[in-house]
Amino acid sequence: MGVKIREKLKGSGLYWVFINHNGIRKSKKIGNDKKVALEVAEKIKAKLVLNELRVEKINKKCPTFKEYAEMWLSLPNDRKESTQANYEQFLKNHIYPHIGKMRLDQLCRKDFKLLFDKISSNGVSLSSCKSIKIPINGILGHAVDSELIDVNHLKNIKFGKTKLKYNINPLTENEALILLSKALEYNDGFYYPAILCLLRTGLRIGELQALTWADIDFENRLIDINKTWWRGVISTTKNKKTRKVDMSKQLAKTLRDLKQRQWKKYAGEDVPPWVFASKYGRVLCLHLFRKALNEYLEAAGLRHIRIHDLRHSYATIRLLKGHNIGDVSYQLGHADISTTFTIYTHWIPGKFKSEVDELDMHPNAPQAHPEGKEIAMK
């Protein structure tokens, strides 16, 4: 038997009485007076001891976690298609096998703690655990609002404060040049423009695939990043924001040449809109591009890297050159500069010594102790 009071929504100031008696759980909202809630709880507790209060189970079938999750996923929402697919994958691979068949009202804090302990022991990273937690939180929150359960037991479960480790394997500037030279030698240089673009702009691969010639401003050497390609569908960028990315002179010339070759190939008729069109005029095939990249790396004697590491290479090469981290962050399309700091902090040389040195450059700043006397150390 248990009778407790607490805020159903922490910080709301509204107190509820929660009753757990003979396997049956019920709750009742009291109000914003904690003292009154305590008095009500004591009266209920006394009546339960004297069997003067019957707590009956509501004859209503509560759905299983999987049933409710599938209903929640089908509700209208503003999630990106890729986010929706990730949620479905997280639930299918990590959640349903463990708690999918359990009723929502049977799940307690212990079940979720054991669930994430199990997920972590299977080698899932801390960042992935946090991503998996998001849809479960949404499902349980919706169930609370629907009054199917009294409380979201997952809400206050926290993971360890281990610093996130990002899987980064960037190329050095010299290695990037070697890779580009190999890309020119193989496949008649077909994938060279795409690899150069990734190394000069830091675009995500989906953003690269979605680029059309209408997005290229040769006059101002800018690329308008306003969409991404994911599983055959055009959608908004990762953070749903657009940005304009600078083109280097080499990249601008390479893309001009690429456009001329496409016009020549199609004789100016039915020219594909995609900047990096496949040999058949369709969107760049990710599988073939990845295969080509692996071939070039092997031929160059370089270690294996992912396509996404070309984006990391762009960022680290710029930061090692001392470029402004704010501009690097913007070009990458990070929602916040703190993300850039977190991921690339080890590639920031000297922690901005050049900026610190500027403090010595004021014309009125004394350059030495007067008359060359040494300062006594006490």
Q: What is the pLDDT, as a whole number, of residue 299?
A: 94
The mean predicted confidence, pLDDT, of the chain is 82
95: left (phi over 0), alpha (psi -120 to 50) or beta: alpha
Q: What is the pLDDT, as a whole number, of residue 315?
A: 93
Which is more confident, 228 or 156? 228
Which is more confident, 371 or 130? 130
Structure tokens at 15: 């107190």
pTM greater than 0.85 (yes/no): no
Using 50, 70 and 90 to split pLDDT, how confident is the model at 49?
low
- 306-358 pLDDT, tens per residue? 999 999 999 999 998 888 889 999 999 988 888 888 888 877 766 545 555 55
- Chain-centroid distance of CA 327 in Å reads 20
Q: What is the pLDDT, as a whole number, of residue 36?
A: 75
3-state secondary structure the chain: CEEEEEECCCCCCCEEEEEEECCEEEEEEEECCHHHHHHHHHHHHHHHHCCCCCCCCCCCCCCEHHHHHHHHHHCCCCCCHHHHHHHHHHHHHHHHHHHCCCEHHHCCHHHHHHHHHHHHHCCCCHHHHHHHHHHHHHHHHHHHHCCCCCCCCCCCCCCCCCCCCCCCCCCCHHHHHHHHHHHHHHHHHCCHHHHHHHHHHCCCHHHHHHCEHHHEECCCCEEEECCEEECCEEECCCCCCCEEEECCHHHHHHHHHHHHHHHHHCCCCCCCCECCCCCCCCCCCHHHHHHHHHHHHHHHCCCCCCCHHHHHHHHHHHHHCCCCHHHHHHHHCCCCHHHHHHHHHHHCHHHCHHHHHHHHHCCCCCCCCHHHCCCCCC
Structure tokens at 353: 């010594």
Using 50, 70 and 90 to split pLDDT, how confident is the model at 286?
very high
Residue 1 has pLDDT above 70, yes or no: no
Q: Distance (Å, rounded) from C-alpha 286 to C-alpha 305?
A: 15
Question: Which residues make Cβ contacts (< 8 Å) with residue 211, sequence separation at least 6?
Answer: 203, 223, 274, 275, 276
- Chain-centroid distance of CA 207 in Å reads 15
Top-ranked range on mean pLDDT: pick from 47-56, 182-191, 226-235: 182-191
Show contacts of 132-138: CB within 8 Å, 24+ apart. Answer: 132/90, 132/94, 132/95, 133/157, 134/87, 135/69, 135/73, 135/87, 135/90, 135/91, 136/91, 136/95, 136/112, 138/72
Using 50, 70 and 90 to split pLDDT, how confident is the model at 221?
very high
φ/ψ of residue 245, rounded to 5: -105, 135
Q: What is the pLDDT, as a whole number, of residue 364?
A: 62
Residue 191 has pLDDT above 80, yes or no: yes
Token look-up 């999987």 returns 66
Residue 96 has pLDDT above 60, yes or no: yes
- 103-141 pLDDT, tens per residue? 888 888 888 888 888 887 777 777 788 888 889 989 998
Residue 24 has pLDDT above 70, yes or no: no
- 242-266 pLDDT, tens per residue? 999 999 999 999 999 999 998 888 8
Mean pLDDT along residues 208-218: 94
